[in-house]
Amino acid sequence: MAHVILGLLLIAPQSFYGLVKGFEAGVALFYSASSGSIKRALDNLHTRGLVEVASAETGGRGKKTYRVTEAGRREFHTWMTGEVAGSDLESAALSRLYFLGLLEPSERVPVLHRIEARIESDLTRFSQLDKELDTKDIPEGLGDLAAHQRATLDYGIASFQFALDWFRDYADHHRPRSE
């Protein structure tokens, strides 16, 4: 979540309330977060020196507007251009796709290729599990359960295949003209 907040603040400095609205308006399509978790992540980014208070209103609510520091810019860039890690591949991939326009054009396709590589790795793992299941005996009385569990795996494989095809196509259409 910290990197998503950095991305939103790189688009424009904003208040905590603005960040919450930013999540609701677009980020929520691929990343779910409560206002409390956004606040904790923002406070942590501030403590780490990755964001700073750009302005603060006195009186009333004391609204603070946050912006990304140079260290925060480096952290965001490292995350965007690094390996796609974590257990939630869809959120990790879509978060990078959402903020891809913040990178230099020459950096974008390599990010898409790293996403593709991670999807391929996960797809291979699930496909191997699918083949292994073909050799397993289903205990008596668990046939219905096993059928639905297998359908879940089939859905996952189809979902990964769709994502892989989609990211490949997207990368192909966004290559610099010189490639």
In a domain, 98, yes or no: no
The answer on 14 and 64 residing in a single domain is yes
Q: Which domain holds residue 73?
A: 2-81
Q: Which residues pair with 149 in a beta bridge?
A: none
Cβ neighbours for 77, distance < 8 A, ≥ 6 positions apart: 103
The answer on 111 and 71 residing in a single domain is no
In a domain, 158, yes or no: yes
Which of 38, 65, 81 is the last residue before a domain boundary? Answer: 81
- The pLDDT tens digits for 153-164 are 999 999 999 999
What total of structural domains would you count in the chain?
Answer: 2
In a domain, 86, yes or no: no
Whether the Cβ atoms of residue 76 and residue 1 lie closer than 8 Å to each other = no
In a domain, 130, yes or no: yes
In a domain, 132, yes or no: yes
Over the Cα atoms of the chain, what is R_g?
21
Question: Bigger pLDDT: 3 or 178?
Answer: 3
Stated length of the chain: 179
In this structure, what CATH number is given to the domain that contains residue 40?
A: 1.10.10.10
Q: What is the average pLDDT score of the chain?
A: 90
- The pLDDT tens digits for 98-137 are 999 999 999 999 999 999 999 999 999 999 998 888 788 8
Mean pLDDT, residues 47-52: 95
Looking at this protein, which amino acid is placed at residue 50?
L
N-term to C-term CA, the chain:
34
pTM of the model: 0.85
In a domain, 65, yes or no: yes
Which of 27, 48, 81 is the last residue before a domain boundary? Answer: 81
